[in-house]
Structure 1
C-alpha cells in the first residue's frame, strides 16, 4: 500500500537527512489533517496526504516507521497576507501551487519565480508492505 507523506521544508533544512526514490528511511509519521494542507496544495490533493514526517518534539510516544521512497514532489506556492486579515502574517495563497517532481530531497529547492518552496509530497511504501524477497534485496 502506498502512502503519501508531507515533509516540511524547515524540518529538512534544520536536521533532515537527504533522501531519494529507492531509499529506505526511518521516519516518525503523524496522522495528517488534510485541512492543514488545503490552502497549500488544494483540498483534493491535501486529502491524499496520509501522514506528516515529524522529528521536532511532537513525536513523543510514536515509533519510527521504515518506508521505501517511491517518488518525491517539491511543493512551491505564493505566500501573502490574506484579504481582510489584520495580523499581517503571510499564509499560502490558494491556487498558486507549483508541483515539481525531483530525484532527491535535501531541504533546499531551486528558486522559482513568484513562489516559495514549502516542502515535499513523498510517495512511499512501508517496508513491511514490500514482497519478502524484494525486502531481502533492499528494494
Structure 2
C-alpha cells in the first residue's frame, strides 16, 4: 500500500539517513497528527493525505518501505506558519541537511512510500 509520510526537518538533521527515490528504508512510523499547518502553508486538504509520520524517537516498530517520490517543503514562519507561503519541490534525494530558500525555511520532506507489509 502506498502512503504519504511526513518527515520533519529536525528528524532528518538529528539522526536521519539520506535516502533517494527507489531506496528501501526501515522507518518508525506513527499516526499522522499535528500536521494541520500543512493546510495553512500549502493548501486545504494536504494534511489529510498524510498517512504516517516518520519518528526516530517515538518507539514505534520499524516498517519496511520503498521510497516512490520525495518532495521538500519550505515555508515562512512569523512566528507561526504563514498562510500560503509553502512551496514544494520534487527531488531525487533527501539529504541530511537541506538549506532554507531565502525567507522560506526548510520544514521537512513529504515522501510517497510503498509499505512492504500494508498498513
Confirm or deny a common fold (TM above 0.5).
yes
Which residue in 2 is equivalent to 1:11?
A: 11
Match of 2:72 among 67, 71, 74: 74
Q: CA deviation at 1:110?
A: 3.9
The structure with more helix, counted as a fraction of residues: 1
Secondary structure class of the residue paired with 2:26: strand
Count how many residue pairs are aligned between Structure 1 and Structure 2: 117
Which residue in 2 is equivalent to 1:48?
A: 49
Which residue in 2 is equivalent to 1:38?
A: 39
TM-score after normalising by structure 1: 0.77
Could you tell me how far apart the structure 1 residues matched to 2:96 and 2:108 are?
8
Structure 2 gap ranges (5+): none
Q: Which has the larger radius of gyration?
A: 1
Which residue in 1 is equivalent to 2:24?
A: 24
TM-score after normalising by structure 2: 0.89
Which residue in 2 is equivalent to 1:109?
A: 98
Q: CA deviation at 1:69?
A: 0.2
